[in-house]
Structure 1
């Protein structure tokens, strides 16, 4: 079995494999979108002779970690034909993907797992709790009567000036909201291909966007796909716009972060909520990741040793000095009691702010040393990550 980059002559095989292994066959705009990402991604194939029997995409994306922009490898469209399963094909694809991402400078990676335990084995870890909500008409909120400045557009009836402003606002907020993905023109085009019926509403303060939503309306349901506001006043103004549709919709649905105090301001906040943990993250190159990491407060040098079965280049002892500079040192050069020891999956979830240092050690079945925990907790920003994209 040979693992290699899939050349253009075999792209049709990639379409056939995806259509067979996933529940819905792509047609029209979605098929065109899939073709675009075949061409733009690092598209790996498992070959038996000339036949593509397994595949994996590494999408070239960008993600913020505590305000720092990182190149991110988005793992998607992982598949093998059923008659070739249980042969270690996906394992070989994942191993090659990790090497490719490191070489491409994609020091972190995100995926949506079909099985958490499967991808945890390869070093990915859950890092975001997504809350799905459904608000019936009787519980629609009211933030009073106020004349807000709201501009609308849709993909069908675009306003190019407004759309450009929305894109700029989205990325500005992504740098503020830890864990968010920066959307480039290609990603917005993907959204348009996959959800061409989308509408946009932007709330303006002093002629500048302070918040926006992307939404659809279908069979009486107002479905919110994006909801980004820079402050509470913008959030309330957007809710006023949403509930102005009360005569034509009976339900409002959407997603938000489980850590967000969503509904706290509602008069009747006891509506349906479901929490899903459906995205995982992994640090691909620990040294390079930490060199760029926005350390907060380092009073004394930090030490960490990482366990990583699939990225052996990460299995080192690292020293982070007071200036945030990272170096690799000999394991016997410091006492064990001053060292943090973690597997790469838990270290990844900790560094992006999902797990506390103490929790990461507990889940790793390591004894937390208070002095070490306190030092690391002071050094790591404590903003929780939010990640709403899907690929």
Structure 2
């Protein structure tokens, strides 16, 4: 094993060949174009055996929203190894360098889509995002009966892209954890897939208030993304979807799970609905995270101990969160503390302080220890909404 290097365009052929083999990506021009486009916007880590690419990880720089703030995030994807060279700890070495690079460059979070949850927990990642999926016979799709003004128009990418960016940003304003989409990423996600259609809802003032990205293949209508700012936009786009009932046999729709579904008000609740775990998150630097965390209203000091983080050893230790009478918060990493303390792993710390799980849930499953006097205190400063993510990489 000759170490980890950051790959350039000269390595793209080997990168594509390995991704094609590992993920059964179609060996065609369109697939190559997508992977090379993403590689151009990423930092590409490779481990070589001589001149042969043995393992690779693609790290794409993004920004995400937490607590009304924009933060740097590393999206990890295309984690793959040639079976001829497996067993040498190559992915471990890449992830160690990647996470260290993230910390040195002020990247606060890392997201990834796991092929194995236990595998990525070893690096300090944990489940944060869930997704809800609907698979509905066309005759059972909930129809809109409310009359609306405005209109829905099917448009091309050039006509759609500005509305897609604007509406998505407005929909997400009150959410946590979402990707702040740059133009290049929206193009990659929604247009570089050449089979997508676009429909925009315009209100009576000809202002775009909702959109639908979808595909129709072999009698199946798939909603790729459906966003709306008003009730009228939702109902009009739903009526647009319903207009395909006689021409397709089935509708499919997935979205980030927000602890509720968009069909709760329908006369007949949908029965074929599934919720699945999806992407994982790692807080790269706990101390930096605590310094931006909104400890609003904190009246009493407490401490947090991160027991272990093998691939982020800088996170291990005790952090005192000191609350002053003036309302200021000070974060200090210490060797020991007399403050009421919460003790847990980096994974459960992430779930707790990003709003995915509660103190009560994690205590029940014995995933953390906490002094009794700190329970109510910690619960009072935790996020009130679960994070959501519409993107995948």
So what's the TM-score if we normalise by structure 1? 0.91
Tell me the secondary structure at the aligned position of residue 189 of structure 1.
helix
Shift of 1:365: 3.6
Counterpart residue number, 2:178: 180
Shift of 1:269: 1.6
Tell me the secondary structure at the aligned position of residue 332 of structure 1.
coil
Aligned ranges 1:171-250 → 2 under 5 Å: 171-205=169-203, 206-250=205-249
Tell me the secondary structure at the aligned position of residue 183 of structure 1.
coil
Q: Distance in 2 between matches of 1:311 and 1:282?
A: 10
Shift of 1:107: 0.9
CA contact (8 A) 1:56 1:79 kept: yes
Q: Distance in 2 between matches of 1:186 and 1:301?
A: 44
CA contact (8 A) 2:290 2:331 kept: no
Shift of 1:21: 1.7
CA contact (8 A) 2:125 2:347 kept: yes
Aligned ranges 1:1-391 → 2 under 5 Å: 1=1, 2-154=3-155, 157-160=156-159, 162-205=160-203, 206-258=205-257, 259-307=259-307, 308-322=309-323, 323=327, 325-335=329-339, 338-391=340-393
The runs of at least 4 aligned residues of structure 1 exceeding 6 Å deviation read none
CA contact (8 A) 2:342 2:369 kept: no
Tell me the secondary structure at the aligned position of residue 333 of structure 1.
coil
Tell me the secondary structure at the aligned position of residue 318 of structure 1.
strand
Tell me the secondary structure at the aligned position of residue 211 of structure 1.
strand
Shift of 1:342: 1.5
Moved more, 69-78 or 166-175: 166-175
Q: Distance in 2 between matches of 1:63 and 1:321?
A: 27
Q: Distance in 1 between matches of 2:235 and 2:322?
A: 44
Name the CA shift for 1:130/1:274 in 2 (closer, same or farther; >3 Å).
same
Q: Distance in 2 between matches of 1:367 and 1:102?
A: 27
Name the CA shift for 1:326/1:348 in 2 (closer, same or farther; >3 Å).
farther
Name the CA shift for 1:17/1:137 in 2 (closer, same or farther; >3 Å).
closer
Q: Distance in 1 between matches of 2:252 and 2:26?
A: 26
Q: Distance in 1 between matches of 2:101 and 2:242?
A: 47
Shift of 1:355: 0.8
Name the CA shift for 1:119/1:207 in 2 (closer, same or farther; >3 Å).
same
Shift of 1:214: 1.2
CA contact (8 A) 1:30 1:193 kept: no
RMSD, aligned CA: 2.2
Shift of 1:280: 0.6
CA contact (8 A) 1:134 1:252 kept: yes
Tell me the secondary structure at the aligned position of residue 336 of structure 2.
helix
Name the CA shift for 1:218/1:209 in 2 (closer, same or farther; >3 Å).
same
Q: Distance in 1 between matches of 2:328 and 2:189?
A: 38
Shift of 1:207: 4.2
* 1:43-75 Cα deviation digits (max 9, x unpaired): 111122232211111111122223322111010
Q: Distance in 1 between matches of 2:220 and 2:154?
A: 19
* 1:174-232 Cα deviation digits (max 9, x unpaired): 33221211111111121245422212223344544333221112233221111223354
Q: Distance in 2 between matches of 1:140 and 1:14?
A: 42
Structure 2 unaligned regions, length at least 5:
none
Shift of 1:145: 4.4
Q: Distance in 1 between matches of 2:72 and 2:364?
A: 30
* Matched residue count: 386
Shift of 1:78: 0.6
Name the CA shift for 1:268/1:377 in 2 (closer, same or farther; >3 Å).
same
Q: Distance in 2 between matches of 1:231 and 1:362?
A: 40
Structure 1 unaligned regions, length at least 5:
none
CA contact (8 A) 1:111 1:279 kept: yes
So what's the TM-score if we normalise by structure 2? 0.90
Moved more, 201-210 or 249-258: 201-210
Shift of 1:324: 6.4
CA contact (8 A) 2:213 2:223 kept: yes
CA contact (8 A) 2:128 2:387 kept: yes
CA contact (8 A) 1:137 1:251 kept: yes
Q: Distance in 2 between matches of 1:348 and 1:263?
A: 30
Moved more, 201-210 or 240-249: 201-210
